[in-house]
A and B are shown apart, each in its own frame.
Chain A
Amino acid sequence: MSAPVLEPLPVDAEVDPAARKRPTAREVLSDIASGGPLRILLAVFLSLVVGSLLIVFTNEDVLDTLGYFGARPTDFFGAAGKAIGEAYAALFRGAVFNYRADSFEAAIRPLTESLRFAGPLIAAGLGIALSFRVGMFNIGGQGQMLMGAAFAGFAAANLSLPWGLHLLVAMAFGFIGAGLWAGIVGLLKAFTGAHEVIVTIMLNYIAVSLITYLMRTPVLHDMDSGNNPTARAPQPTAQLPTILGQDFSLHLGFLLCIAAVFVFWWLMERSKLGFRLRMVGLNPDAARTAGVNVKAVFIVAMVLSGLFVGLAGINQALGRTGTFGPSIDAGIGFDAITVALLGGSRAFGVLFAGLLFGAMKAAGPSMQVQDVAPEVLVVMQGLIVLFVAAPPLVRSIFRFLPEPRVVVRTSAPKRSLRATAAEAPATQAPVAQVDTAQGDGAGDSTATAKKESPL
């Protein structure tokens, strides 16, 4: 994993009772982020184990051998091993390299497909990650993606512009749609105090109904093409061009999503705005005291979050030659939450999480051919995130894992130290000591504060 993820293990719950007080979403997320590659690998391993059990006990051949398990147990283990081996071989063939293919192009097509699936997951994951780092839960990926896709699709189908410019304009439309939709959430949170979880969930449903409605009307729909809600296909000038030739469907959208990773990294780790965003995420009260307009930050953060999610929607709408319906988001808006969690809300963490989940998505058909229900991959994704989210659980399963580092803490509890870090970056001496203890927490902002001038 990347550098930010390799932060030292945080002080854990059992070790420091004082640190257990009221962990905020942000603290938990930073805990996940600083988990270290070993724990993520173990989480993946655990989920593979559970996935194997699911595969074994739904496999017909294995269940047949269970009937005479007492007489010949070896049959059972043989059949179980075969079922698992075949399933994971199919996973590999579907996601990475199809060694059974005739040509080299066909053999590496699964890899390009994995990347194609990973693109929108990464972009939407970045959007959700951004909201997490500001201490908000953006569950509204679905609605924002739909709005982005619909706006981009509208411009791509209805405008007539030269090649290149048309694509840019369509993308701009998509960003506007998704950004506005997400901005509603920020506005409501800032000015009415409505909880963003409920607001985003409601906006998801509203977006689905609204876009379905528009996909039945001439706004988006080609009225000569039947009654099913669909949006017109983007014109060739607005489609994202393929980047590996006609044989592969991987298109420019993937590169844009990768670019978004770097934009996200720069925005969150290097820019002044990102510093404010993180400040509010760490401690809104301290940020307010330091002169940050917290309400404005909420709105800006949601709009930015929506822009990243919108890129995923644009990628879906313009990365195709045909029409699309209201299910264009393909569950990415929800998957993005797990991607952001697994990626620890860090740019490169999200990149790797997106690639992993994209590969799992791409492998579905191949698993299906092997008679393994591809939904097992969804279960495994959920389990990975669950295991990663609860470090003590993984540690209690794998006893050999090192205990979290103990740091002698002499001064005030965590929260006030954080406030110090955010409010007065100049007084580093007592704060710097805590860096190792808190992983991402106060240390992060202090480290940044050293480089930048305070707000």
Chain B
Amino acid sequence: MTQTLAPEAPVVGPVVVAPRNWKGAIVMAVVAQITLAFALTTGSVEVFFSWNDTGQPAVIPATVVDAQLICLVLAVIAELCAVAAFVFVGMRRKAPLILTFVVAFTFLIALVASVAAGSQSGNIPVVFLLTGTIGLSTAVIFGSLAGVLGERVGVTNIAIEGQLLGGAFTSAVVASVTDSLILGLVAGMVTGALLSMVLAGFSIKYLVDQVIVGVVLVALMIGLTNFFYSAALSGNSEELNFPGTLPFLPIPLLSDIPVIGPVLFDQRPTTYAMFILVPAVWFFLFKTRWGLRIRALGEHPLAADTVGINVNRWRFWTVTVAGLIAGLGGAALTLGSIGPFVREMSAGQGFIALACVILGRWNPFLAASAALLFGFSRNFRIWAGQAGSTIPPDLIAMTPYLVTLIAVAVLVGRAVAPKAVGRPYVKE
């Protein structure tokens, strides 16, 4: 850089030295030590990885391994990854993302194995753990996709929580009244979009701070859904709050594959929609002209305006489309899961989605991975409770939030958020 600016100046030594960033490697090393601690504290007990869906005939026999041995192997892998990360940083290069994933996976498997070792049966229901993870993270993934779209175009959407709640409510009610699950889905999506329009309208037209509108919208949706729930739904749940659920649609052949089949190819339409939307949003954002425009609007709206993009109109409609996705996430909570609406059933998942957006560095795939981590921990808590784990369930519940906090503070820190996020654009 110095050379281009002042070619006549003699350059001594290396021109640009990238700073070493040890934070990621240190965190990986810490996680690897915890994995090692699992290995050292777990007794030498046999555990069974059962690969079959509950109630299905056994296709593959359960794998029997020694809990201590597998924890030890995983810990060694984790340690190697951590060392590799240090080497990369030492060479002033960025450690590949795959190392982080491997360390995280080894940690999770070692955790599961050590809990199973402490339980009566020593059984690890792999399919249950995976399907539960996907089921519990569906809404969060939809929400985080909406969040990624919103923040990429420059609008902070705190109201995702309200959109999930509103989508869940209207989809359940409309599906019950019209007896059509499709109409219910549409109604949920429209609700999400309408809330997005309110958010976008207030923040773009009236220039109200986006965080304020978002928080108020969440409060408003909690109040509205609670009000209608106790004023109308609770006394008349047969007619108004009994939508049924979307059917499981097993994909022929693929759903017969062991483990992967029941986890990925025997799901409800909302889950399939999620599988499609994550890569679709990624492709849209990073591989299409529209996506480029959206990202430009989030980074430098003035530049986008200069080349003739109508900033506020694009922001309005992008956020509205994001609202459709968030509303679908709400419908996934009711129609795609348990059916009827329950008071405050989103239970903070919209806020978690927001954290996943940051944790996932505004990338749909990474945000979805972060959401899966939350889903896994919620599911793990259920399973650990059943398996009779000695780890207090409250502390398990706390872990993903703690991980997010550490990740946001240590790893992401001054993350490369879209530069203009949260700021309304006003033409000079």
Using CB atoms and an 8 Å cutoff, list the residues of chain A in contact with chain B: 13, 17, 20-25, 28-29, 54, 58, 137, 139, 188, 192-195, 197-199, 201-203, 205-206, 209-210, 212-213, 216, 334-335, 337-338, 341, 372-373, 375-383, 385-386, 389-393
Q: Within B104-128, which residues are at the interface with A (CB < 8 Å)? A: none
Q: Which residues of A contact B205 (CB under 8 A)?
A: 392
B83 interface residue, CB < 8 Å from A? no
Q: Are A25 and B223 in contact (CB under 8 A)?
A: no
Can you list 27 A-B contacts (CB < 8 A)?
A17-B426, A17-B428, A22-B424, A23-B207, A25-B212, A188-B409, A192-B413, A193-B413, A197-B158, A198-B408, A199-B405, A203-B401, A206-B398, A206-B405, A209-B401, A338-B219, A372-B231, A375-B223, A375-B227, A376-B231, A378-B227, A379-B220, A379-B227, A386-B213, A386-B217, A390-B202, A391-B206
Q: How far is the CA of A378 from the CA of B220 in the complex (A)?
A: 7
Q: Are A198 and B426 in contact (CB under 8 A)?
A: no
Q: Are B405 and A341 in contact (CB under 8 A)?
A: no
B226 interface residue, CB < 8 Å from A? yes
Known: A17-B427, A192-B410, A378-B226. 18 other contacts (CB 8 A): A17-B428, A23-B209, A24-B209, A29-B209, A29-B212, A139-B215, A188-B405, A193-B414, A198-B354, A205-B401, A206-B405, A209-B395, A210-B394, A210-B398, A377-B223, A378-B227, A379-B224, A390-B208
User: Contacts A194-B408, A201-B354; is A25 near B209 (CB within 8 Å)?
Assistant: yes
Q: Which residues of B contact A385 (CB under 8 A)?
A: 216, 219
Q: Are B402 and A206 in contact (CB under 8 A)?
A: yes
B142 interface residue, CB < 8 Å from A? no
Min distance, Cβ B214 to any Cβ of chain A, angstroms: 9
User: Contacts A17-B426, A392-B206; is A58 near B232 (CB within 8 Å)?
Assistant: yes
Interface of B, helix, strand, loop or mixed by DSSP: helix
Q: Which residues of A contact B217 (CB under 8 A)?
A: 382, 386
User: Contacts A20-B207, A390-B206; is A382 near B223 (CB within 8 Å)?
Assistant: yes
Q: Are B212 and A54 in contact (CB under 8 A)?
A: no
Q: How far is the CA of A334 from the CA of B358 in the complex (A)?
A: 22
The 8 A CB mask of B388-409 against A (1 = contact, 0 = none) is 0000101101100110110011
Q: Which residues of B contact A22 (CB under 8 A)?
A: 423-424, 426
Min distance, Cβ A211 to any Cβ of chain B, angstroms: 9
The 8 A CB mask of B8-45 against A (1 = contact, 0 = none) is 00000000000000000000000000000000000000
Q: Which residues of A contact B219 (CB under 8 A)?
A: 334-335, 337-338, 378, 381-382, 385
Q: How many residues of B contact A (CB 8 A)?
A: 50
User: Contacts A21-B428, A378-B226, A382-B216; is A198 near B355 (CB within 8 Å)?
Assistant: yes
Q: Are A58 and B228 in contact (CB under 8 A)?
A: yes
B351 interface residue, CB < 8 Å from A? yes
Q: Which residues of A contact B222 (CB under 8 A)?
A: 378
Q: Are B405 and A337 in contact (CB under 8 A)?
A: no
Q: Within B191-211, which residues are at the interface with A (CB < 8 Å)? A: 202, 205-209, 211
The 8 A CB mask of B414-427 against A (1 = contact, 0 = none) is 10000000011011
B414 is contacted by which of A20, A54, A192 (Cβ under 8 Å)?
A192
B206 is contacted by which of A13, A206, A213 (Cβ under 8 Å)?
A13
